[in-house]
Amino acid sequence: MSGRKNSKSAGDASPPSGSINRIRSAMVVNVVTRIQSLFGKIRQFFRRIRMRIEGMPLAYKLSFYITVLVVSCMILLGIILVQQQTQLLQKQISEHGSTLVRLMAKAAREPLLADDKLALDAITSGFASNNIVGTAIATLDGEIISQAGVLLEEKNPLTRKEFDQIIEGEVDMHKWGWRRLSGNREKTVMSFLQPVRFKDVTTGFAVVTLNQADMLAAIGTAINAIIVATILIISLGIAMSFALGRRITQPIDRLVSASHAIGNGDYTFRFKDQRQDELGLLMEAFNQMAEGMLEKTQVKSALSRYVSPGVARQILSNLDDVGLSGKRIEGTVVFADIKGFTQISERIRPEDLVAILNRYFTLVTNACEINSGMVDKYMGDGVMLVFGAPEPDKDHAFNAVCCALLIQRLIAHENILRDKQELFPVQFRIGVNTGSMLAGNMGSADRMEYTVVGDTVNLASRLCGITNAGEIVISKEMYLRDDIRHRVLAGEYQSIRLRGISQPVSTYRVEQLTAQFQETIDRQFNVILESQRNEREHEKN
């Protein structure tokens, strides 16, 4: 009974097979997880190296790849040379040992047969030298009859099969390497065994043991020489690879610099290299591209002098689709002309009149451009400005009023300067109106211009005609817009009648912007004056 309890207890103590399988599965999963984690880290390591290499300059990349190629080739070449040198030295020592043991076996044939120990001692002693650390002549039973130098540590270095092959003449010689103690150091030696035969009868063996220290030293010297040569060639290869990389990538670096120059708007950059390779063709193509971009910029600049920059961009971006067309837009038109221009033109020379017009129209143009407007056309002493075309502007009405007030202020400042020079003042009158109008290319297929037409434009022109010198007049409809009446201070002016309209049109005279927006005019005024001062200083220099 007690035995049964013990047996039961032992059975309860052993873990069930299911638990063992779960433990094994968990261990396998753990090992697999660790292996996957290790491979993941290795992949991350090589990915980081690849990303660093990809981020290197092209010259360094090329140098790196050439260096890796040179190092790999030299290491492979060094390994091959070391192996060949080792095999060559081993072959030489093997041939040397074979020759010595063969001569010794030949010399010992008759003395061994005659059991002439004195002659055998003379033979073993005579073959001893610096490289030969030991010689011996033994019987077929392995008994050493005569020896000189070191003793063989193995009494019977031959297996039975090897012994039978030598006795039967199937194998002419046997060699083996072993280590012997010399003081506190081990030295590697190689023994050569040659059967002593007399008339096809094997009477014994001749053994010659050679010191391999010289061979190992020669191998070490050869390895060191190969390593030094490899390092020198690798160093030279690295230096040459960097020099070659820099030389090859120098034109590419110049192409990159040229592309940066083009990107920064410097279209005058040209390559003057006379190359006949692919890089030369690329440089020539780059020069042609830069020349084309320079011509396009010059055309755009010249075109912008005759039409607004926005219209110039629109024309150049759609050269294949330039034609007569128009579309309905919401915009604002400003008309400004010189009051009493006829009297002025009668008082001064045409050259002076042109100078006055150019000076004042420059101020008008500056005021228009700083408020996102477009100079539509100059008409004698007048100018027509458009806001909201060709590029949409949701704040076109307010920008037009700001432009008119800025023109008024610039003209007043210019007249102060003219008064100091004892010149007569020039007064402008300005009319502004906003609403629906037709905008587009108008004229003929051979000659056209971008402009706006419609009742809104006609009313703006009429408002300019009824305005007194130095005043800005807008329509009542424009003043009542939410984006105008909350930001512009204006008073009722007068009503005018237009042909085709039964009711008179009410107008307002603009005084100024509200205090919240007045600083906009002040800032724009200072910007234009500063720009003019800089231009005058640039012309002086």
Residue type, 86: T
Supply the pLDDT for residue 158.
62
The distance between the two most distant Cα atoms of the chain, rounded to a whole number of Å, is 160
Supply the pLDDT for residue 68.
81
- Take residue 422 and report the two structure tokens written for it: 């004892």
Q: Can you give 67-134 as a three-state secondary structure string?
A: HHHHHHHHHHHHHHHHHHHHHHHHHHHHHHHHHHHHHHHHHCHHHHHCCCHHHHHHHHHHHCCCCEEE
Q: Which residues pair with 507 in a beta bridge?
A: 475
Q: How far apart are CA 333 and CA 459, in angstroms?
A: 9
CB within 8 A of 362, min separation 6: which ones? none
Supply the pLDDT for residue 153.
56
Q: How far apart are CA 124 and CA 143, in angstroms?
A: 15
DSSP state of 321: G
Whether the bond between 350 and the residue before it is cis, its omega within 30 degrees of 0, is no
| Contact (Cβ atoms closer than 8 angstroms) between residue 116 and residue 96 | no
Q: Tens of pLDDT along 129-157?
A: 667 788 888 888 778 888 887 766 555 56
Inform me whether the pLDDT recorded for 7 exceeds 60.
no
Q: Tell me which of 474 and 262 has the higher pLDDT.
A: 474
Cα→Cα distances 431→50, 248, 380, 468, Å: 68, 66, 17, 10
- Take residue 332 and report the two structure tokens written for it: 């604002």
Q: Which helix (H) or strand (E) holds 262?
A: helix 213-263
Residues in the chain: 541
E strands within 339-409? 373-379, 382-387
- Read off the pLDDT of each residue in 365-375 and give the average, rounded to a whole number: 94
Supply the pLDDT for residue 349.
92
Instruction: Report residue 10's pLDDT band, with 50, 70 and 90 as the boundaries.
Output: very low
Supply the pLDDT for residue 4.
46
Residue type, 418: R
Inform me whether the pLDDT recorded for 170 exceeds 70.
no
Residues 270-304 as b/e (b if ≥16 CB within 10 A, e otherwise) read ebeeeeeeebeeebeebbeebeeebeeeeeeeebe
Question: What CATH number belongs to 327-540?
Answer: 3.30.70.1230
Supply the pLDDT for residue 53.
61
CB within 8 A of 236, min separation 6: which ones? none
Q: How far apart are CA 382 and CA 378, in angstroms?
A: 6
For the CA atoms of 366, 368, 373, 377, the dihedral, rounded to the nearest 10 degrees, stands at: -100
Q: Tens of pLDDT along 40-95?
A: 888 787 777 767 666 666 667 777 777 788 888 888 887 888 788 778 878 888 88
Inform me whether the pLDDT recorded for 3 exceeds 80.
no
Q: Report the CATH fold assignment for 98-215.
A: Beta-Lactamase (3.30.450)
- Take residue 314 and report the two structure tokens written for it: 């629109």
Q: How many CB atoms lie within 10 A of CB 394?
A: 10
Q: Indicate the burial class of 505 (C-beta count within 10 angstroms; 0-12, 13-18, 19 or more).
A: middle
Instruction: Report residue 11's pLDDT band, with 50, 70 and 90 as the boundaries.
Output: very low
Inform me whether the pLDDT recorded for 403 exceeds 60.
yes
| Contact (Cβ atoms closer than 8 angstroms) between residue 444 and residue 488 | no
Mean pLDDT of the chain: 82
Inform me whether the pLDDT recorded for 499 exceeds 80.
no
Q: How far apart are CA 171 and CA 202, in angstroms?
A: 12
Instruction: State pTM to two decimals.
Output: 0.52
